[in-house]
Copies of this chain bind each other. A is one copy, B any other.
């Protein structure tokens, strides 16, 4: 009797320095126009970023609870190139583009099969609990940099 106990939500995966994260479109994501509401792509790509950090062994909840800090998005440039619909299986493809002391520049695409549905450049800034820019923890930066190296290999 397993009682669904070994069932787990889908984790994303790295291939080289690129991170892939799958998700499905539910009713909650759509609007009366029949397509995914534009703000919800920002939810999708945040899930992928959280999964990427998790895959690197970074525990955002603990960082928050321990007063270390939290990422806040400072800038998003996103182009919507197609419309996702109810039941679509999407893939968020994520790459760290640039590691700075207190922020990261991230390229994220939402794809449906080989089609690019949305293409975003995101700047995530690390903040202290008081909301001030703060250097990212050193071990995190090291993991990001090791990841970058992978891409060049």
Contact = CB atoms under 8 A, between A and B. Distances in A.
A76 B78 contact: yes
Copies in the complex: 4
A42 B38 contact: yes
Interface string A1-40: 0111101111011010010111110111011111101111
A13 B24 contact: no
A74 interface: yes
Given A32-B31, A39-B42, A64-B33, A93 B24 contact: no
Interface of A: 2-5, 7-10, 12-13, 15, 18, 20-24, 26-28, 30-35, 37-40, 42-43, 46-47, 50, 54, 59-61, 64, 70, 72-80, 83, 85-87, 89, 91, 93, 131
Question: Top 4 A-B pairs ranked by shortest CB distance?
Answer: A4-B20, A39-B42, A30-B32, A10-B10
